[in-house]
Amino acid sequence: LVWGHSLGGAVGIYIAGELSVAKMPPHSMVLESTFSSVEHVVRDLVPTFWFKFLEFFENFELFGLKFGPFDLEGILWHKFPSIDRISRISNKTHILVLHGLKDEILSPDH
């Protein structure tokens, strides 16, 4: 059984995919409150979570630091592309996906 919660879900998808490719697929996998890609989460959450109080978020300067649209390549060293990797998991692996509809941090849309 592979069980992953939040970021651990992305790691679980990676591990289950690697095990499947090595002809040792896990029997079951549980993905709890995980996401399809860190890139999507950052795009949706970082501006609203950290800077929702700034109406001029897209382009402003503060103490000589310029803030503008996010350069995700610079921020993310690993994107955890679960949506792309899940296809590597054997069709023999049973997958249960759990996500609360009232999750205030990460909506099920991710």
One-letter-per-residue 3-state SS of 85-109: HHHHCCCCCEEEEECCCCCCCCCCC
| Residue 33: closest CA among 108, 84, 86 | 108
What distance in Å separates the CA atoms of residue 52 and residue 27, rounded to the nearest whole number?
A: 43
Identify the pLDDT of residue 19.
92
Please list, in sequence order, all residues whose beta carbon lies within 8 angstroms of the beta carbon of residue 36, skipping any fewer than 6 positions away: 82, 83, 110
What distance in Å separates the CA atoms of residue 51 and residue 47, rounded to the nearest whole number?
A: 5
Mean pLDDT, the chain cut into blocks of 10 residues (110 residues total): 91 92 95 81 61 52 58 57 89 92 72
Identify the pLDDT of residue 105.
72
Please list, in sequence order, all residues whose beta carbon lies within 8 angstroms of the beta carbon of residue 109, skipping any fewer than 6 positions away: none
Give the three-class secondary structure for 19. helix
- What is the value of pTM for the model shown? 0.67
Identify the pLDDT of residue 54.
47
What distance in Å separates the CA atoms of residue 90 and residue 104, rounded to the nearest whole number?
A: 32
Q: What are the sequence ranges of the domains in the chain?
A: 1-37+81-100, 40-79
